[in-house]
Amino acid sequence: MALSVVYAAGTGHVVGALALTGASTLPDVASLVGPALPLRVSLGPGRTATLPLNARELGVAAADDEPGALADPLAYAVELTAEVVPKPKPTLLRLATWKDGLALATDGLTITVPVARSGLTKVVALISDEQDTHVLAGEIPAGDTEVKLPVTLAAASEHGVLVLVGGWAGRLEKAKVL
């Protein structure tokens, strides 16, 4: 049994993990997830938001076994190593968790991380909105902890939100516009 992970190419976040048996080669992303990988979050009784990650924005890798990646994939990221022959398996890094720092408003999503990084930090966010999904991308500047991603949302509405911030565990949750 070998651990394979599907990850967001832009940030390295693991968005799915599976243990393959008997596979001699790693399948491509599309054969694993189809055109998009749907992540789901409950919005309450009988309501679920689906946040589809486009297969073109994903990668697949065979990684060293990490049982935690099967239970909580968003807590890990793929660290691709330099080209070496033979090519080594990517390393899975455990990411720092953060609880607060997401503020959804009628004019955008503000993301605040607990600690500033020394370089640019890539950010990708998906927000459900009825039948649509808003896909937002940005960067937190070096030495800063915050970015606001513009999006127009209805006041007091509830949404499924997926936030991937480089170096921090991914967050998939329900958020209300304040």
| CATH code for the domain of 132 | 2.60.40
Q: What is the pLDDT of residue 87?
A: 58
Tell me what the mean pLDDT of segment 53-82 comes to.
88
Evaluate whether 71 touches 49 at the Cβ level (below 8 Å): no
Whole-number percent of the chain with pLDDT over 90: 77
CA 131 to chain centre: 20
* Domain stops at, among 40, 69, 94: 94
Q: How many domains does the chain have?
A: 2
* 69 & 118 share domain: no
Q: Residue 55 carries which DSSP code?
A: G
* 90 & 106 share domain: no
Return the minimum-mean-pLDDT range out of 40-49, 59-68, 116-125, 141-150: 59-68
* 150 & 171 share domain: yes
Domain of 111 in residue numbering reads as: 102-176
Tell me what the mean pLDDT of segment 96-115 comes to.
97
Q: Is it the case that residue 115 has pLDDT exceeding 80? A: yes
Q: Over the stretch 117-168, which tens digit does the pLDDT of each residue have?
A: 999 999 999 999 988 999 999 999 999 999 999 999 999 999 999 999 999 9
* 8 & 74 share domain: yes
* Domain stops at, among 69, 94, 119: 94
* 83 & 15 share domain: yes
Q: What is the pLDDT of residue 163?
A: 98
Tell me what the mean pLDDT of segment 84-102 comes to.
82
